[in-house]
Amino acid sequence: MLKLDAVELTQGAFTLCADIDLAEGARLAVMGASGSGKSTLLNVIAGFLIPDQGRVFLGGKDVTRSPVPERALSILFQDGNIFPHLSVHDNVALGMSPSLTLDRAARERIPLALAQTGLEGMGDRMPADLSGGQQSRVALARVLVRDRPLVLLDEPFAALDPGLKREMAVLLDDLCSQASLTLVMVTHDLRDAEMLCSEVSVLEQGKIALQRGLAGIRDDRPEALVPWL
């Protein structure tokens, strides 16, 4: 589903070097200290940054130089990118059309996505009328209507309290399983990674210093992650 083949990108004194190969349905946590290249890696996958060398493949297609809208992925940012002047319905609709011009089939997908994320009947509400958790669900509903096989998460739980973190992780887990979505999540918190991901790549100074499965990592080799946590 996702392959980074000998990707290199230099920005000033910093160079990112990455080789990643993820199968369909895989869930990868990208960890590392601040400045290690986590966000840069995510931006290369998304298309906001074009590598100097190497290639990026999505679903077997070379998208190295493809613009962001043409890539088969969705991005969920830390703040959810919810627009306060738009209703829940329109915030979700933005995932399919920036102009909010939708055909009948697209309009019918919105209430379905709201129901899947526990927001049934809330399409007419404004973001100010929602709790923080409900606003996060609006962002998830927007990802669902886009119907893209790869989801990129940029610190999605950083601003949430522990209870809401668990709630959103369970919901994301269910949605990814139902749609066989592939997931790449940038996080600083191993506990967040363990709730949702099965694999971890740790970046250090732009290079992958550790890449392995998450299962039992604390008991198996807890010292392996100590430098980055």
Domain count, the chain: 1
213 inside domain = yes
Domain-embedded: residue 158:
no
Residue 33 makes CB contacts below 8 A (sequence gap 6+) with 204, 228
Looking at the domain assignment, is residue 217 inside a domain? yes
Of 55, 69, 57, the C-alpha closest to 22 is: 57
Q: Is 170 inside a domain boundary?
A: no
102: left (phi over 0), alpha (psi -120 to 50) or beta: beta
Other Cβ atoms closer than 10 A to 101: 9
The H-or-E segment that residue 163 falls in is helix 162-179
Amino acid letter for position 181: L
| 149 part of a folded domain | no
Does residue 86 fall inside a structural domain? no
Tokens 């738009």 sit on residue: 86
We report the CATH number of the domain holding residue 7 as: 3.40.50.300
- Domain around 16: 1-68+184-229
Q: What is the DSSP letter of 26?
A: -
Cα-trace Rg, the chain: 18
pLDDT tens digits along 13-52: 999 999 999 999 899 999 988 889 998 999 999 999 999 9
Q: Answer whether 36's CB lies under 8 Å from 15's CB.
A: no
Q: Can you list the residues of the chain whose pLDDT is less than 70?
A: 78-80, 159, 215-229
In a domain, 112, yes or no: no
Strand partners, 154: 186
Write out pLDDT tens, residues 194-218. 888 888 999 999 998 887 777 655 5
Average pLDDT, the chain: 86
pTM of the predicted structure, to 2 decimals: 0.82
